[in-house]
Structure 1
Amino acid sequence: MDIRQLEYFIAVSEELHFTKAAERLGVTQPTLSLQIKALEEELRVTLFDRIGKKIALTEAGALFLEHSAQIVRDLQNAKDSINDLREYRRGSLTVGALPSDLDYRIADLLIDYHAAYPNIKLKIVTSIEIANQVLGNEVDIGIGMMPVYDDRLVAVPLRREEYVVVVSERHPLADLESIELERLRHIPTVMYPLGYIGREQVEVECRRRGFTLQTIMETSSATSLIRLVKANVAATVQPGPLIETMNDPALRCIRIADGAPSREIGIIYRVDRYLGHAARAFIDKTIRHFKRP
């Protein structure tokens, strides 16, 4: 048994089709079939039930898949660890981030990281589904919303942030320091579309009070949303610290006095993923960045 056979077995398990798995691996179907047969003979079990052109994992196959996937991950982690040792301060890192935070929150973090590690190729991917990106190995590390409910993930809290009502300096409410959540029932707002985590955090709290936001316009762009507020189209409800980082004199933040919605931001990565020096350094800088006043 060798690692190539395990990779072949995993591919067939994922595709549940020998021809598709062979195409994916770049081998012929007879070669793939022989390797799986050799594996079954060595283990002395049947890994796949073959029903006509369809196949399915047997109970033994499902058990072997779990261990095979772990072995392949461990080998990849070992390779990554050795490469990290050999190519210290070199390599690449892919980070997932919420669009609004990328636009307004973490630019200074990226500048600071690049100054310390100029040879690391850093790629930032925006998404509202950070945990799924991490689980799918689309990104090495995610900066997203907590909590996460998956044993395969590690989530390191960064900070909890209360939402505030954000208006233009020309808005009728601009001079208020605080506002009751109930008043949002009658205030036109511009918000992210329904389904976005940030929007849902606010809507959940409103529904508890028996109403939904009076949203007159939706946009998935943080930049557009802020421009609409500055143009006095309507108010919005966003995390206070995020708005404060903009340092824009045309915006006013009004504290929600009674049970403000809140969000918790954290760093997310896979339990079984090897984190090299570049990744660990990014995590350390991110923690310190979010702890700043």
Structure 2
Amino acid sequence: MDTRNIQYFMAVYEHLHFTRAAEALGISQPTLSQQIRILEAEFGIPLFDRIGKKVVATEAGRLLRQYGMKMIQAELDVKNAIKELASAQRGTVRLAVLPSDLDFQLVPLFVQFNAKYPDIQLQAISTIYVQEEVLNYKVDMGIGLAGPPDPRLVQIPLRSEPYHLFVRADSELARRDSITLQELQQHALVMYPQGFLGRDLVDKVCKQEGFELTTVMETSSANSLLQLVSAGIGATIQPDSLLRQKNEYPAITSIPIKGATPVRQLQLMYYADRFISGSQQQLTKWLIDFFK
């Protein structure tokens, strides 16, 4: 068994269709079917059930996917380690980041990274599914909301951030020193849609207090939310660090929320058994220093 056959298997598992998997791999469908039969003969058990035109993974197939991903990643880690040894300063670092942090906080750090490692490609991916991207080997590391301990991961706490109310600087609310979530039931709000981490965190605290907030407009972009606040459409509830670069939004004021306050706990995470290149180690240190 080699990783090429595992990659063939993974393609079929992803598409659950031999023809589409073969097209994605750039090989013929008979060749792909033959390679899967070789794997099944080696294991002595079917990896897929073929019911007419429908393909369904068996229990053995689900197990092979779980361990096959680790085999493919292990091969990639070996290649990266040897490549780094040979070339010292080349390669790619993949980082998953929550959208608002990517838009408003980390660009200066990326500039610093490029200055030190000009030949290394940094791929910063905006996603709300940071941990899933790390666990599926889609990225090398991620910055997301802290979750329960996972033995597969190294999880490094970064910082806790309370949420504030962002309002237009010339609005009546801007004269307040603080405000409660309950008071916001009487004010127009612009927020992320439900299902977004930040929105769900706010809704959870409100639900615990026995009420719900309503919105006049929703958007999935942090930039759009702040533009709507600047235009006077409504206020928004966001992490206080979102306005770190305040010069970009001088028309917005941040008001602390008193009483029950949404707080997000950020963490840096990566696979415990992954190869960590020198550039990734440096980026990890910079990220920890930046957030702390």
User: Where on the TM-score scale, by shorter chain, does this alignment land: which range?
Assistant: 0.7 to 0.9
Matches within 5 A, 1:97-136: 97-136=97-136
**2:71 counterpart SS class:** helix
Write the letter of the residue equivalent to 2:259. D
Is the Cα contact below 8 Å between 2:131 and 2:142 reproduced in 1? yes
Unaligned runs of 5+ in 1: none
Match of 2:88 in 1: 88
Identity of counterpart residues, as a percentage? 42
Q: Secondary structure at the match of 1:121?
A: strand
Residue 224 of structure 2 aligns to a residue whose secondary structure is helix
- The 8 Å contact of residues 105 and 244 in structure 2, kept in 1 or not, is answered as no
The answer on whether the counterparts of 2:47 and 2:60 sit within 8 Å (CA) in structure 1 is: yes
Q: Does 1:265 align with 2:258?
A: no
State the Cα RMSD in Å.
Answer: 2.9
Contact 2:73–2:137, Cα closer than 8 Å, also in 1? no
| Residues in 1 aligned to 2:252 and 2:77: alpha-carbon distance in whole angstroms | 47
Give the TM-score normalised by the residue count of structure 1: 0.84
The answer on whether the counterparts of 1:104 and 1:246 sit within 8 Å (CA) in structure 2 is no
Number of the residue aligned with 2:236: 236
Q: How does 1:178-257 map to 2 (within 5 A)?
A: 178-246=178-246, 249-257=250-258
Q: Which amino acid aligns with 1:269?
A: Y
The alpha carbon displacement at 1:222 in A equals: 1.8
Q: Unpaired segments of 5 or more residues in structure 2?
A: none
CA gap of 1:94–1:65, structure 2 versus 1, over 3 A, is closer
Residue 210 to residue 75, structure 1, CA distance change in 2 (3 Å): same
**CA–CA distance in structure 1, aligned partners of residues 201 and 37 of structure 2:** 52
Higher deviation after alignment, 59-68 or 138-147: 59-68
Letter in 2 for 1:123: Q
SS at match of 1:232: coil
Q: Is the 8 A contact 1:161 1:264 kept in 2?
A: yes
Task: Provide, for residues 150-173 of structure 1, a one-character-per-residue CA deviation record: whole Å limited to 9, x for no partner.
Answer: 665443221110011122221112
Amino acid at match of 1:246: K
Secondary structure (helix, strand or coil) at the match of 2:174 reads coil
| Residues in 2 aligned to 1:227 and 1:53: alpha-carbon distance in whole angstroms | 50
Go from structure 1 to structure 2 and tell me whether the alpha carbon gap of 1:210 and 1:35 turns closer, same or farther (over 3 Å shift): closer
The CA deviation string for residues 42-89 of structure 1, in whole angstroms up to 9 with x for no partner, is: 445554555555555555555455444433322221112111222222
2:149–2:155 CA contact under 8 A, matched in 1: no
Deviates more, 1:20-29 or 1:104-113: 20-29
Q: Identify the residue that residue 290 of structure 1 maps to in structure 2.
A: 291
1:12–1:157 Cα change, 3 Å? same
In structure 2, the residue matched to 1:159 is: 159
> Which protein shows a greater Rg?
1
For these two proteins, the number of residue pairs brought into alignment is 291
Q: CA offset at residue 203 of structure 1? A: 1.6
- Decide whether aligned partners of structure 1 residues 95 and 66 sit closer, same or farther in structure 2, where only a CA change above 3 A counts: closer
The alpha-carbon distance between structure 1 residues 63 and 204, as it changes in their structure 2 partners (threshold 3 A), is closer
* Structure 1 residues 167 and 278: alpha-carbon distance in aligned structure 2, compared to 1, 3 A threshold: same
Question: What is the alpha-carbon distance in structure 2 between the residues aligned to residue 59 and residue 129 of structure 1?
Answer: 26
